[in-house]
């Protein structure tokens, strides 16, 4: 089978590997689609939020089909379409699938069924690869108290995590404003149902105007960029909440931290999507939210090296998705 492997930092290659075999407690999954995430580039660059080693196969935003079931597996069968969680526990330790464990950027892989969730019939394989990032956005909103139709949510950063966070808030009924400097991202935000999509150059003033001076009830910082992190407190209104989702590794960012007290803000860090996968999948199924505008480019898995190069150009694309050709 074919697999994408990061042999060392900054060295992605497509290799031939033997077909995996499964234990009685495992299932064999045929990969159908896999999204490329910003975190994959952190891994490729040789850094991540937990210890990692090379060689490693990335791929944690995936959708697949079960093609073999171990004798001891009861809740899944051959033919089930599934998605899987990223942060998983083995008897030895807590792992991140696609980082400290080899991921789904290969044609087949064996996996513990405890990490899996069945994909509803109404969600196709392409959108299935967006389930993992959607759960992160869904969790980002829930962790700060959720939202509803009475509130204004500002999402700072219109990459994948920002857009799925916006979609979650839209599905909960909130008015959503997305802030991003790239026109294509702002266009997609409007397609998803955001009421406004604005540039950050005068973002704080625009948000005040759009909210009649009130500011945001909830700000989701989803870019990790210094300016966006600093502006989050400017966007928030009195008694507002700020959810820090964007990853900023190892940098110091100057902010007007006094606004936390002056505005009586609640600020929470947020990473991953623990405990919300079943709810997030039901939410997507019942609301009918179409996340597909986020997926701007599709490549075959065998062209993954080229796909990773394109994915670094934020102006050219939002989400690059790999396919095995099986779907």
Residues 127-173: tens digit of each pLDDT: 999 999 999 999 999 999 999 999 999 999 999 999 999 999 999 99
Q: Is the dihedral of CA 220, 98, 95, 112 positive or negative?
A: positive
Predicted pLDDT of residue 292? 94
Q: Domain 2-130+291-323 sits in which CATH superfamily?
A: Medium-chain alcohol dehydrogenases, catalytic domain (3.90.180.10)
- Across 76-94, average pLDDT: 94
Domain spanning 140-269, CATH architecture: 3-Layer(aba) Sandwich (3.40)
pLDDT digits (tens, 9 = 90+) for 168-198: 999 999 999 999 999 999 999 999 999 999 9
Average pLDDT, the chain: 95
Alpha carbon distance 65, 69 (integer Å): 11
From the number of C-beta atoms within 10 Å of its C-beta (0-12, 13-18, 19+), residue 269 rates as: exposed
- The radius of gyration computed from the CA coordinates of the chain, to the nearest angstrom, equals 20
pLDDT at 327 over 60: no
pLDDT at 326 over 60: no
**DSSP letters of 255-316?**
--THHHHHTT-EEEE--S-TT-HHHHHHHHHHH----GGGEEEEEEGGGHHHHHHHHT-TTT
- Residue-range domain boundaries for the chain: 2-130+291-323, 140-269
pTM of the model: 0.94
Per-residue pLDDT band for 108 (boundaries 50, 70, 90) equals very high
Q: Which of 164, 112, 120, 159 is nearest to 273 (CA)?
A: 164
- Please check whether residue 270 is in contact with residue 140, taking contact to mean a CB–CB distance below 8 angstroms: yes
């Amino acid at each position: 089978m074919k697999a994408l492997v990061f042999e060392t930092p900054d060295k992605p290659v497509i290799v031939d590997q033997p077909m995996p075999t499964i234990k009685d407690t495992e299932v064999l999954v045929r990969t159908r689609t896999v999204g490329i995430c910003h975190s994959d580039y952190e891994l490729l660059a040789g850094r991540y939020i937990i210890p990692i080693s090379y060689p490693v196969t990335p791929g944690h935003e995936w959708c697949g089909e079960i093609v073999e079931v171990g004798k001891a597996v009861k809740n899944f069968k051959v033919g089930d379409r599934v998605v899987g969680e990223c942060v998983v526990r083995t008897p030895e330790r807590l792992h991140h699938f696609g980082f400290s464990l080899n991921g789904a950027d290969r044609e087949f892989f064996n996996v513990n069924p405890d990490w899996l969730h069945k994909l509803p019939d109404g969600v196709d394989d392409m959108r299935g690869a967006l389930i993992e990032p959607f759960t992160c956005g869904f969790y980002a909103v829930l962790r700060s108290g959720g939202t509803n139709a009475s509130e204004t949510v500002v999402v700072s950063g219109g990459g994948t995590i920002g857009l799925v966070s916006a979609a979650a808030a839209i599905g909960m009924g909130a008015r959503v404003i997305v802030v991003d400097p790239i026109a294509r991202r702002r266009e997609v935000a409007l397609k998803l149902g955001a009421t406004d999509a604005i540039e950050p150059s005068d973002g704080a003033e625009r948000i005040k105007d759009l909210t009649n001076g009130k500011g945001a009830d909830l700000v989701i910082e989803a870019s990790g960029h210094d300016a966006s992190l600093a502006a989050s407190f400017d966007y928030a209104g009195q008694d507002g909440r700020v959810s820090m989702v964007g990853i900023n590794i190892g940098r110091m960012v100057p902010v007007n931290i006094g606004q936390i007290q002056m505005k009586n803000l609640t600020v929470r860090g947020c990473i991953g999507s623990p405990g919300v996968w079943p709810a997030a999948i039901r939410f997507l199924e019942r609301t009918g939210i179409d996340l597909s505008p986020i997926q701007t480019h599709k490549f075959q898995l065998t062209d993954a090296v080229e796909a990773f190069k394109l994915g670094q150009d934020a102006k050219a694309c939002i989400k690059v998705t790999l396919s095995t050709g099986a779907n």
